[in-house]
A and B are shown apart, each in its own frame.
Chain A
Amino acid sequence: MAPALVAQKPLILSGTVRDKVSGAFISEANILNGSTNEGTASDGKGAWSLKNCHENQLLIVSHVGFRTDTIHIKKEGARVKKEDTRVKMEDTRVLHYEILLVPETLQIAGARILGQAETWKIRDLPPGQIRLSVNEISKVPALFGEQDLLNSLRSLPGIQSVSEGSGYFYVRGGNADQNLILLDEAVIYNPSHLLGLFTVINPSAVRSLTLYKSGIPANFGDRLASVIELSSRDGNFKKFSGEVSIGLLASKILIEGPLVKDKVSVLFTLRRTQLDLITPLLIPKSNNIHGSGYSFLDFNGKIVWNLTDRNKIWLSAYTGSDSFLLKDKQFTLSDRMSWGNSLFSLNSVNTTSGGMEMRTSMNWSGYALDFTQLYHDYYIGLNTGISNFKFKHEFLIRPTAKQLIRTGLELQQYRFKPYQTNVLLGNEIKAIGDSIPYRAREAAIFIHHEWAPGPTFTMNTGIRLMYYQHRGPFDRLVNDRQGFPADTIHYPKGKTLADYLRIEPRISLSWQFRPGQTVKISASRQYQPIHMVPIATTTLPLDLWIPSTDLVAPQEGTTFSLGWYPDLDKSGLEGYAEGFYRYFSNQVEFAEDQLLLNLVKDNLDRQLTFGTGKAYGFELFIRKKTGKTQGWIGYTWTESWRIFPEINQGKPFHPRNDRTHDFNLVLEHSFNSRWEGSLQFVYATGQPITIPLSVYIMNGTVVQNFSERNSIRLPAYHRVDIALSRKPVQIKKLQSTWTFSVYNLYNRLNPFFVYYDLQWDYEKNLLSTRTRQISLLPVLPSVTWTGRF
């Protein structure tokens, strides 16, 4: 028996949104109270909740690609408007809805319904949060016809890359390692294939992406700059279907379907590049490096089991690898490099009859890189890696109509192998470098509280308590008088070398101070116990992760943001202006006098130096979400600085990701019922670099004297990409789509890699020095065919 509703008392509505055909949960569905115009969106698991609702109001549920549904909020016994929407009464205050949306047509990425407003608004989201659906990702023209998650993210304000083809991204002046990328709660350590041309996660396997740039909720930790939460897509619960995509550089296949109809579904995707097939055509057999090549492969899988309407369990898996081989016949040289991520994540969501939700995740993820070089009878191998096991358990409780509490704990165990170098000496392979694994543990408890006392004010507060240990077994090396490691202090298994207890407060406010004018403020302090030491002058997959130890303290970051979110609904627009300030300490770099990866057996953390950083700037964003032409404009002004007493003579310097101006324009236009096009324009201030200012002759050759760290700017980066898509055409059981795109339309030669060309003609005694650039991606047309069956 359901209790009666109390008149005038606000209701909390909660529930899930699912695809009626496939049964898959739908994220980013918009749930709008038609009377108050307040709304929310379903999360990565299809769950949603909406406060301050009353009986007899209308609930409008929409999602691109689905028919909009309208629900009449009724107390017990009331009928819902649509027969495919069921209402369940839980108690007097919480109504649980399981909403099944009907697909408008079967859609594939790249096709979308026009003229339908997406009803959730940026101003309804917490400060610093951005959500992207697969559909929005598809608006950004694709490189080589391949939609890319990172490329889409980089088109948003506050998110920058170092250069063309960069494998990483940088949020509001932070470092690459300060972004936490989660796929179904498991960490992805290296986000890119092929020097950043592809994101490691196949977009076909992703349902939604949520980015937190500031005001990061307390249920996330371990990173200073941002959190990217990727939710994998459920397989079809009704029938088997699939998708094949063939592009110039990469092709992929997706298969999904029910193992038990309406109960258990599976989804698998496989993607690989064809570059290894193209390379032999580019490098003839007569060339000494014939046989060299590059390839990547990745796999996503997910099994979902809907135990009951309220209980769901799923297993996600990802593995991907890049492989590079260089052969030089003349020098009997063979370089082989492979790197990749893997992860497994077992998750469950259980909802009680009272509306409380329990989420549990157990996952493992890892990243590893192996490099070997065979040169004549000389062998050297290098490998580095990181892995962690994580258990997370959290509760979502709605004590009143105006509050949400999210609380839980997180336990993690890390293993690091900073770098191990193997050298063949005689017939014996000897391990040197920092071959001693580091082990660490972390425990965190958190509580996040959302409070909406009225329709114009929301306050999110949270606190996270993190306890971290660096534990044995471990060998700490001690220097001799010459400065080389000579003695070892051994710490046995389980012995704590260092521990850190940190408190991380978070707060964010959203206040509609007058109709249509909202201001958002956030402040947070975060700690990051693991570090990726930057070593490269260009982006390479050589990520050296190390933990906090007795010599390296956790990174500490404090972030403030203040934003203005006006209501531009009447003009069909939405947008915001937001400023931010960041300060971080305990930043790590290699000491300037260190020979990088020298062949010395030493602890990596003894080769580091420490400093601080700060970044400040503001972002402007305007988006048009309706009409035949849609898109957005994003602009960011940033200054980012680092200060290391032992680098650059202690003077402040810009990090390589510092971009003063960053502008993005993304447009999508529907020409007619068959064709649609998209365009992206990107402009950014040139990245700061270190270049030689002078040369001198020493040791019989020419030596370069470099500038102060990152004191010179490369030319500005800009380009235009366009894409034209033929909307899906049904040919019997196959749905066919063609996408034609041109990357870098006006052939801008943006520098990808800068090098220094020294020519000394010994006979003429003529010395010339030049700074040269390699531009990796000139104008590149491509075509991709996608078939869905």
Chain B
Amino acid sequence: MVYLLIILAAMPACVSDLDIKVPSTDERYIVEGWIELGGYAHVMVSRSLPYNSTVGTADLFNLLVDEAQVKIKCENTEERLMLVEDTMYSILPIYRGYRIRGEVGKSYTLEVKVGDQTFTSADNLLDPIGPDSLWFSPEALNDSLGYIHIRIKDPPAPGNYYRIFTKRLGLDIDYNGISIGALDDHLFNGTTFSFPMIRSGPSTNTADGHFFRKGQRVVVKTCIITKQYFDFISKVSNELGATLSPLSFQAPAITLMTGGALGGFGCYAGITDTLEIH
């Protein structure tokens, strides 16, 4: 329907800045944390910024909360995370662990203290599920560019939630999400299913756009997440879609954190495969 608006807007319609007064809003703390199978916990703690503004790198650094006490707990073990530079994930420093690793079947609790406020969230690391196969197909207008298709055999029991990332070796620093933020198996529970993938995220701002190119080597990471984290990620994706989608639900941001911060903490059970595109 957005496109119907675009077609109507192709009539003599106008696009302009909306001139309304927006009240100033309270600053919120933002927590984004995760732990991967075999990896260590990573947590970013930042502040929100007002709408209708332009911020540069220096301003982004001002968003960082560097005085937080961040802990990850698993069973009877507890680790305080360190604030480090890690450009793989962010230009901002990030809190990360070095001792507690992600293991299948374990539960993890994140605790973040800023001043006298405490924010917590917990999640479980599930069994991973990998793809059956990966292959490439060209797009309609340029056969050098195209899609990566993935085929997954979903286990018979319902309740599997997937997130898939890709990384073009030599081009991308980190994994990027695909256009489908996350998907659950209610559509295809217990069956073998496949679908085409295109890229999303910062690296699409090039001539290749959202497509993959022949000659590239692409690592595909297929992750299993919990239902609560799937719901959270889906709603974050939905909010992203709220920029134009008339079907989006425009509501105050959702959060998995207790204590008033926005954001969440999730466990990823991931398996990686590499596809060389010919």
Please state if A195 and B191 are interface contacts (CB–CB under 8 Å).
no
Measured between beta carbons, the chain B residues less than 8 angstroms from A536 are 246-247
Find out whether the CB atom of A706 lies under 8 angstroms from the CB atom of B253: yes
Q: A695 to chain B: which residues have CB within 8 Å?
A: 48-49, 51
How many residues of chain B get a CB closer than 8 Å to chain A's CBs?
Answer: 87
Among A483, A692, A773, residue most surrounded by chain B Cβ atoms (within 10 Å)? A692
- Asked whether A709 lies within 8 Å of B251 as measured between CB atoms, the reply is yes
Query: Which residues in A have their C-beta under 8 angstroms from that of B250?
Result: 537, 690-691, 706
Instruction: State which of B54-62, B75-83, B213-221 sits at the interface with chain A.
Output: B54-62
| Interface assignment of A425: CB less than 8 Å from any CB of chain B | yes
B190 CB to nearest A CB, Å:
11
Smallest CB-CB separation from B227: which chain A residue?
A482
**Cβ-defined contact, A705 with B253, below 8 A:** yes
A762 within 8 Å of B (CB atoms): yes
Stretch at the interface among B9-17, B100-108, B128-136: B9-17
Give Cα A537–Cα B238 distance, bound, in whole angstroms.
13
Is B240 a contact of A696 with CB atoms below 8 Å?
no
Contact of B28 among A195, A537, A691, A705 (CB under 8 A): A705
- Asked if B30 is at the interface of the complex by the 8 Å CB criterion, the answer is yes
Is A775 a contact partner of B243 (Cβ separation < 8 A)? Answer: no
Chain B 230-242 interface mask (CB, 8 Å, partner A; 1/0): 0101111011101
Whether the pair A705, B139 counts as a contact (CB closer than 8 A) is no
CB pair B30–A696 under 8 Å, yes or no, is yes
CB–CB A780/B239 < 8 A: no
- Complex interface: chain B residues within 8 A of A757 (CB): 243
Are A596 and B249 neighbours in the complex by a CB distance under 8 Å? yes
Q: Which of B9-61 contact A (CB under 8 A)?
A: 9-20, 22-23, 25, 27-28, 30, 32, 44, 46-57, 60
Q: Quote the shortest CB–CB distance from A540 to chain B (angstroms).
A: 5
Give residues 740-789 of A contacting B (CB, 8 Å).
Answer: 749, 751-758, 760, 762-778, 780
Q: Do A774 and B60 form a contact, CB below 8 Å, given A425-B193, A755-B244?
A: no
Which range holds the interface residue count of chain A? Answer: 35 or more
B27, B147, B188: the one contacting A376 at CB < 8 Å is: B147
Contacting pair B239 A195 (CB below 8 A): no
Q: How far is the CA of A777 from the CA of B231 in the complex (A)?
A: 39
Task: Kindly list chain B residues whose C-beta atoms are within 8 Å of the C-beta of A701.
Answer: 201, 240
Of the candidates A484, A704, A753, A769, the one whose C-beta lies within 8 Å of that of B186 is A484
- Give Cα A702 to B46, complex, Å: 12
B13, B23, B52, B249: the one within 8 Å of A769 (CB): B52
Determine whether the beta carbon of A697 is less than 8 Å from that of B46: yes
Specify which of B23, B46, B239 lies most central, judged by the most chain A CB atoms within 10 Å of its CB: B239
Is A692 in contact with B236, judged by CB distance below 8 angstroms? no
Flag whether B140 is at the interface (Cβ < 8 A). Answer: yes
Knowing A540-B1, A693-B50, A703-B239, say if A712 contacts B60 (CB, 8 Å): no
Interface check A599, CB cutoff 8 A: yes
Contact indicator A772/B4 (Cβ below 8 Å): no
B247 touches A772 (CB 8 A): no
A692 touches B202 (CB 8 A): no
Q: Closest CB-CB distance, B170 to chain A, in whole Å? A: 18
* A282 in the interface (beta carbon within 8 A): yes
Is B207 close to A, CB under 8 A?
no
Is A704 a contact partner of B238 (Cβ separation < 8 A)?
Answer: no
Contact B19 A769 (CB under 8 A): no
Quick one: closest B residue to A755, CB to CB?
A: B244
- Contact (Cβ within 8 A) A699 B246: no
CB distance from B58 to the nearest CB of A (A): 9
Binds B, one of A38-46, A100-108, A323-331, A614-622: A323-331
Question: Binary interface profile of A, 418-446, with partner B (CB < 8 Å = 1, else 0)?
Answer: 00000101100010100000000000000
Stretch binding the partner chain, chosen from A287-295, A500-508, A658-666: A287-295
> A426: which B residues are within 8 A, CB to CB?
191-193
Interface stretch of the complex, out of A262-270, A586-594, A631-639, A725-733: A586-594
Query: Are B253 and A703 touching (Cβ within 8 A)?
Result: yes
Report chain A residues within 8 Å CB of B51: 691-695, 704, 756, 769, 771
Given contacts A324-B4, A708-B252, contact A694 B48 (CB under 8 A): yes
In angstroms, how far is the closest chain B Cβ from the Cβ of A548? 24
> Which residues on B are within 8 Å of A, measured CB to CB?
1, 3-20, 22-23, 25, 27-28, 30, 32, 44, 46-57, 60, 63, 91, 137, 139-141, 147, 158-159, 174, 176-177, 184, 186-188, 191-193, 195-196, 201-202, 205, 227, 231, 233-236, 238-240, 242-244, 246-254, 262-263
Binding site for B on A (CB under 8 A): 165, 195, 279, 282-283, 289, 292-294, 324, 326, 329-332, 335, 337, 375-378, 423, 425-426, 430, 432, 482-484, 486, 535-538, 540, 542, 590, 592-601, 647-649, 686, 690-709, 712-715, 749, 751-758, 760, 762-778, 780
Q: A697-B30, A704-B239 are in contact. List 6 more A-B contacts (CB 8 A).
A: A289-B3, A693-B25, A694-B27, A700-B201, A700-B202, A705-B28
- 9 closest Cβ pairs, A-B complex: A768-B54, A693-B25, A765-B57, A762-B202, A694-B48, A696-B48, A690-B250, A326-B3, A705-B253
7 A–B pairs (Cβ distance < 8 Å), ordered by A: A536-B247, A691-B20, A693-B23, A704-B242, A705-B253, A749-B16, A754-B18
